[in-house]
Amino acid sequence: MAGPPASLSGQDVGSFAYLTIKDRIPQILTKVIDTLHRHKSEFFEKHGEEGMEAEKKAISLLSKLRNELQTDKPIVPFVEKFADTDIWNQYLEYQQSLLNESNGKPSWFQSPWLFVECYMYRRIHEAIIQSPPIDDFDVFKESKDQNFFESQESVIALCTHLQQLTRTIDDLEENQLKNEFFKLLQISLWGNKCDLSISGGESSSQKTDVLNSLEDLKPFILVNDLEQLWSLLSKYKKAGGTTPLVRVDIVLDNSGFELVTDLVLADFFLSSKLATEIHFHGKTIPWFVSDTTIRDFNWLIEQVKSCNHIWMSKCGADWGKYLKMGRWIYHDHIFWTLPHEYCAMPQVAPDLYAELQKAHLILFKGDLNYRKLTGDRKWEFTVPFHQALNGFHPAPLCSIRTLKAEIQVGLQPGQGEQLTAAEPSWLTGGKYGVFQFDGPL
């Protein structure tokens, strides 16, 4: 049997991968440099001259990085010792070994896109940790927080909706409960439009009323396996005491509005008794501009709690309680910020794989998770999702993703071609979405 297809890469001139490496990534780097500049006086106030020196050092490392990228220099190993340095450098050697026959070297435009894009964010992190005393500075924090504040109205609407719903939840008939479940899942899907890396780090908050737009957005869901999620979870609920613990894991994506939609969904899982325990998985380092770290997670819950809107603060208080009671559990793991496709998880991070195997359902949020689930490869549109997962099946899983990269599997014959003819940017504009499920029911 033929192996999986080739990786998406910047070699394909004009492709989205190529344009990302050529335009979007340098733009993000420039923004990071600018952010450091703007915080100069803050670094001085906190750390004096040493802070100023550190800022200079970080900026010079980042400018060097931008130059390497723009001139398609070879990818160099990491020098600063950190928890994942050895695994990263081994991966670099592996990429090198793939090119040994041609005598080439891994480089920005020649190597797989997934690898070089992850490498770029890890190099940003290296520049920061090499610059003490500002080695704890999150260069994306400001944009993530801004995204949350700009989405304030939508957050209030969503929290109010959730509070009204939970007050009557025990009286809902099965079909009504299912409808409410599907609504919150769709909100979490469209929340994924708000990531900040696709917009080159520019603001991308939620300003429209998603709750009332769900019907209009339905035609843009290309694969809709929600019924399968419902069958799986309602089966456990009906079984009652025979499965006393139902665990749902959410592999988080972006902080800001998307994280609020995920927390609202997680709250609903518990209040509807469709699950008894939610495990969140976040990033250990700032990642793809807007991805959630533990700091973002705690910060956002604190913001929601201390807000002076009655329903919003009630949500924040409930969420704090879930965390205290251990019904919500936050995890992070270096694997999520490595360049590996997820089928490599059993070898690279067996502990994480074993943890995920304890789940009854795993939700993977966002585009980057989809790329890693499917290996970021040039699959035919009609290849089954199960096949593209290439052996990654820790538990039943569902990808909840808006399309922001030239990869999509599991479509009906002709569906991809029709979309391409009607709307050339359907794969990358974030306008379309999928709920793609894999696993036995």
Contacts of 50 (CB under 8 A, 6+ apart): 133
Strands (E) located in 316-430: 328-332, 361-365, 397-402
User: Using the rule CB under 6 A, is 404 a contact of ligand F6P?
Assistant: yes
Nearer to ligand F6P, 220 or 230 (CB): 220
Cα(361)–Cα(233) distance, integer angstroms: 8
Q: What share of the chain is helix, strand, coil (3-state, %, to 5)?
A: 55, 10, 35
Least Å from the CB of residue 403 to ligand F6P: 9
Nearer to Mg ion, 258 or 277 (CB): 258
- Residue choice 7, 20, 131, 303 for contact with ligand F6P (CB under 6 A): 20
Least Å from the CB of residue 40 to ligand F6P: 28
Which stretch in 37-45, 208-216, 329-337, 360-368 sits in contact with ligand F6P by CB under 6 A? Answer: 360-368
Cα(351)–Cα(357) distance, integer angstroms: 10
Nearer to ligand F6P, 322 or 342 (CB): 342
Q: Tally Cβ neighbours within 10 Å of residue 174.
A: 11
- Sheet of strand 247-251, all strands in order from the earlier edge strand to the far edge: 221-224, 433-438, 397-402, 361-365, 247-251, 277-282, 328-332
Q: In this structure, what are the phi and psi dihedrals at residue 57, rounded to the nearest 5 degrees?
A: -65, -50
Determine the distance from the C-alpha atom of residue 143 to the mean position of all C-alpha atoms in its chain, rounded to a whole number: 16
Which stretch in 245-253, 369-377, 388-396, 428-436 sits in contact with Mg ion by CB under 5 A? Answer: 245-253
- Residue choice 112, 201, 256, 366 for contact with ligand F6P (CB under 6 A): 366
Least Å from the CB of residue 402 to Mg ion: 11
User: Using the rule CB under 6 A, is 405 a contact of ligand F6P?
Assistant: yes
Among 69, 290, 292, 120, CA closest to 197: 290
User: Using the rule CB under 6 A, is 296 a contact of ligand F6P?
Assistant: no
- Residue choice 111, 147, 197, 255 for contact with ligand F6P (CB under 6 A): 197
Nearer to ligand F6P, 51 or 433 (CB): 433
Which stretch in 12-20, 289-297, 339-347, 423-431 sits in contact with Mg ion by CB under 5 A? Answer: 289-297
Using omega within 30 degrees of 0 as the cis cutoff, is the peptide bond preceding 133 cis?
yes
Which stretch in 75-83, 191-199, 228-236, 380-388 sits in contact with ligand F6P by CB under 6 A? Answer: 191-199
For residue 55, give Cα distances in angstroms to 37, 38, 131, 135, 291. Answer: 7, 10, 7, 10, 23
Q: In this structure, what are the phi and psi dihedrals at residue 89, rounded to the nearest 5 degrees?
A: -65, -30
Using only the alpha carbons of the chain, give its radius of gyration: 22
The binder of 225, among Mg ion, ligand F6P, none, by C-beta within 5 to 8 A per type, is none
Residues 126-165 that bind Mg ion (CB under 5 A): none
User: Using the rule CB under 6 A, is 117 a contact of ligand F6P?
Assistant: yes
User: Using the rule CB under 6 A, is 363 a contact of ligand F6P?
Assistant: no
Interface residues toward Mg ion, by CB under 5 A: 195, 253-254, 288, 291
Note the residues at the interface with ligand F6P (CB under 6 A): 20, 24, 117, 192, 195, 197-198, 253-254, 288, 366-368, 371, 404-405
